[in-house]
Amino acid sequence: MENNTFKSVAFGGFDKQDVIRYIEQSSREAAELQERLQQELDGLRAKVQALETQAADQERRAGEAEDRCRELERRLNREQSARQALEQERDRLQTLADEAQRLRPEAQAYAQFRDRVGDIECEAHQRAAALESATLTKLRQASGTFQTQYQTAMGVFETAAAHVNAELRKIEVTLSQLPRAMDRTGLELKELEQMLEPASAGNK
């Protein structure tokens, strides 16, 4: 506010018109200053509200990330259980195949013996050979089918495991960065609160 020097008059002290103009000018300047301070205060309040909204959104995203992490861990556990079951089934089939291979010489010897018996048991021998061939064929088919299914399942599991691991790494990176973002937001809020305290005190 400018310093004013009032004119003196011969009677009555200061010039009344100068005093009135000074009062009016002081009132305008005070009103303009109050309006500027109110605008600055409104802007600071809006920024505080935006930062509070951002902090709440970050907390919500952190909760969603934690839920996603738990879901991916559950999926990974299910995939691991399925893989263990497949490996157990493969071992069981391999045991059956080994047992069939071990019994094969005995079956061949039996077939040769039956060949020497004669015409009476020829038909029985043929049925035994056909049964043996059908059994071996079924075992080979079952083994081939299982190997194909196992390879397909392993491919799906490896793809799923890679995807889950990649998602877990992304979540770990996001979670590791979240505390710094929250700390930065907290510092900004404290700075704004410190700036608002003098403005609020002056406005009162």
User: Domains of the chain by range and CATH?
Assistant: 16-203 (1.10.287)
Stretch 116-121: mean pLDDT: 62
The 10s digit of each residue's pLDDT in 65-108 is 888 888 988 998 998 888 888 888 888 888 888 888 888 887 77
pLDDT above 60 for 12: no
Residue given tokens 């403005």 in the structure block: 199
Cβ atoms of 189 and 51 closer than 8 Å:
yes
Tell me the HSE value of 10 on the side-chain side, using a 13 A CA sphere.
0
| Cα separations in angstroms, 6 against 10, 23, 28, 31 | 13, 12, 19, 23
Q: How far is CA 148 from the centre of its chain?
A: 33
pTM: 0.33
CA angle 195, 200, 204 (to 5 degrees): 160
Stretch 38-53: mean pLDDT: 91
